[in-house]
Amino acid sequence: MTTDVIHGIKSIKFLSWERIFEKKIEDLRKPEFQIIFYAKILQGCQNLTGGCMSYIFLYYFLTHYVDEGHNLRETNVFTIIALVNLLNYPLVEIPWDLGRLLRSRLHFVRIKNYL
Protein backbone atom coordinates (compact mmCIF):
# COMPACT_ATOMS: atom_id res chain seq x y z
CA MET A 1 0.00 0.00 0.00
CA THR A 2 2.80 2.38 0.90
CA THR A 3 4.58 1.63 -2.38
CA ASP A 4 1.39 2.33 -4.33
CA VAL A 5 0.94 5.62 -2.51
CA ILE A 6 4.53 6.64 -3.25
CA HIS A 7 4.15 5.76 -6.94
CA GLY A 8 0.85 7.61 -7.22
CA ILE A 9 1.75 10.61 -5.04
CA LYS A 10 1.12 13.13 -7.82
CA SER A 11 -2.43 11.89 -8.36
CA ILE A 12 -3.12 11.71 -4.64
CA LYS A 13 -1.88 15.27 -4.10
CA PHE A 14 -3.76 16.56 -7.14
CA LEU A 15 -7.05 15.01 -6.02
CA SER A 16 -6.44 15.89 -2.35
CA TRP A 17 -6.76 12.29 -1.16
CA GLU A 18 -3.99 12.50 1.45
CA ARG A 19 -6.26 11.96 4.46
CA ILE A 20 -8.02 8.98 2.86
CA PHE A 21 -4.77 7.16 2.09
CA GLU A 22 -3.28 8.17 5.43
CA LYS A 23 -6.23 6.50 7.17
CA LYS A 24 -5.91 3.36 5.02
CA ILE A 25 -2.20 3.04 5.75
CA GLU A 26 -2.75 3.62 9.48
CA ASP A 27 -5.42 0.91 9.55
CA LEU A 28 -3.09 -1.52 7.80
CA ARG A 29 -0.17 -0.73 10.10
CA LYS A 30 -2.11 -0.73 13.39
CA PRO A 31 -1.44 -4.46 14.09
CA GLU A 32 2.24 -3.91 13.30
CA PHE A 33 2.42 -1.01 15.77
CA GLN A 34 0.76 -3.14 18.44
CA ILE A 35 3.36 -5.86 17.94
CA ILE A 36 6.16 -3.28 18.13
CA PHE A 37 4.62 -1.82 21.30
CA TYR A 38 4.52 -5.20 23.06
CA ALA A 39 8.00 -6.06 21.79
CA LYS A 40 9.34 -2.87 23.35
CA ILE A 41 7.63 -3.68 26.64
CA LEU A 42 9.25 -7.12 26.61
CA GLN A 43 12.59 -5.54 25.74
CA GLY A 44 12.26 -3.21 28.73
CA CYS A 45 11.51 -6.16 31.01
CA GLN A 46 14.50 -7.95 29.54
CA ASN A 47 16.73 -4.93 30.25
CA LEU A 48 15.45 -4.72 33.81
CA THR A 49 15.94 -8.42 34.41
CA GLY A 50 19.39 -8.38 32.83
CA GLY A 51 20.48 -5.47 35.00
CA CYS A 52 19.26 -7.12 38.19
CA MET A 53 20.33 -10.67 37.35
CA SER A 54 23.77 -10.49 38.95
CA TYR A 55 22.35 -9.05 42.19
CA ILE A 56 19.63 -11.70 42.34
CA PHE A 57 22.17 -14.42 41.66
CA LEU A 58 24.53 -13.02 44.32
CA TYR A 59 21.74 -12.82 46.90
CA TYR A 60 20.58 -16.35 46.11
CA PHE A 61 24.11 -17.74 46.28
CA LEU A 62 25.00 -15.99 49.56
CA THR A 63 21.79 -17.04 51.31
CA HIS A 64 22.30 -20.68 50.35
CA TYR A 65 25.96 -20.47 51.28
CA VAL A 66 25.02 -19.31 54.78
CA ASP A 67 22.10 -21.77 55.05
CA GLU A 68 24.47 -24.66 54.43
CA GLY A 69 26.40 -23.67 57.54
CA HIS A 70 29.43 -22.01 55.97
CA ASN A 71 31.09 -19.11 57.69
CA LEU A 72 30.59 -15.80 55.91
CA ARG A 73 33.82 -13.84 56.26
CA GLU A 74 35.03 -10.82 54.33
CA THR A 75 37.47 -12.86 52.28
CA ASN A 76 34.73 -15.28 51.26
CA VAL A 77 32.30 -12.48 50.39
CA PHE A 78 34.81 -10.57 48.26
CA THR A 79 35.79 -13.75 46.42
CA ILE A 80 32.16 -14.62 45.78
CA ILE A 81 31.41 -11.09 44.54
CA ALA A 82 34.41 -11.24 42.19
CA LEU A 83 33.26 -14.58 40.80
CA VAL A 84 29.70 -13.37 40.33
CA ASN A 85 31.02 -10.30 38.51
CA LEU A 86 32.83 -12.64 36.14
CA LEU A 87 29.49 -14.35 35.44
CA ASN A 88 27.65 -11.06 35.01
CA TYR A 89 28.31 -10.64 31.28
CA PRO A 90 27.23 -14.18 30.29
CA LEU A 91 24.11 -13.93 32.46
CA VAL A 92 23.10 -10.66 30.83
CA GLU A 93 23.89 -11.84 27.29
CA ILE A 94 21.85 -15.06 27.38
CA PRO A 95 18.43 -13.38 26.88
CA TRP A 96 19.84 -11.11 24.16
CA ASP A 97 21.37 -14.09 22.37
CA LEU A 98 18.06 -15.92 22.43
CA GLY A 99 16.40 -12.88 20.87
CA ARG A 100 19.11 -12.68 18.21
CA LEU A 101 18.68 -16.36 17.47
CA LEU A 102 14.93 -15.97 17.02
CA ARG A 103 15.38 -12.93 14.77
CA SER A 104 17.96 -14.74 12.64
CA ARG A 105 15.54 -17.65 12.26
CA LEU A 106 12.82 -15.24 11.17
CA HIS A 107 15.15 -13.60 8.63
CA PHE A 108 16.15 -17.02 7.32
CA VAL A 109 12.50 -17.97 6.80
CA ARG A 110 11.80 -14.68 5.02
CA ILE A 111 14.77 -15.11 2.69
CA LYS A 112 13.79 -18.72 2.04
CA ASN A 113 10.23 -17.70 1.14
CA TYR A 114 11.53 -14.92 -1.08
CA LEU A 115 13.87 -17.22 -3.00
Question: What is the reported pLDDT for 13?
Answer: 78
Q: Residue 72: which domain range?
A: 31-114
Question: What is the reported pLDDT for 113?
Answer: 85
Count the domains in the chain: 1
Does residue 48 lie in a domain region?
Answer: yes
Question: What is the reported pLDDT for 95?
Answer: 74
Question: What is the reported pLDDT for 35?
Answer: 86
Does residue 22 lie in a domain region?
Answer: no
Closest CA relative to residue 81, chosen from 58, 52, 51: 58
Q: What DSSP character marks residue 1? A: -
In single-letter form, the type of residue at position 98 comes to: L
Helices (H), the chain: 2-7, 9-15, 18-67, 74-114
Q: Cα–chain-centroid distance for residue 61?
A: 27
Does residue 16 lie in a domain region?
Answer: no
Tens of each residue's pLDDT in the chain, 115 residues: 677 777 777 787 777 878 888 888 888 888 888 888 988 898 888 788 777 877 888 888 888 888 888 888 877 788 888 888 888 888 778 777 888 888 898 889 889 888 8
Does residue 79 lie in a domain region?
Answer: yes
pTM attached to this predicted model = 0.52
Question: What is the reported pLDDT for 54?
Answer: 79
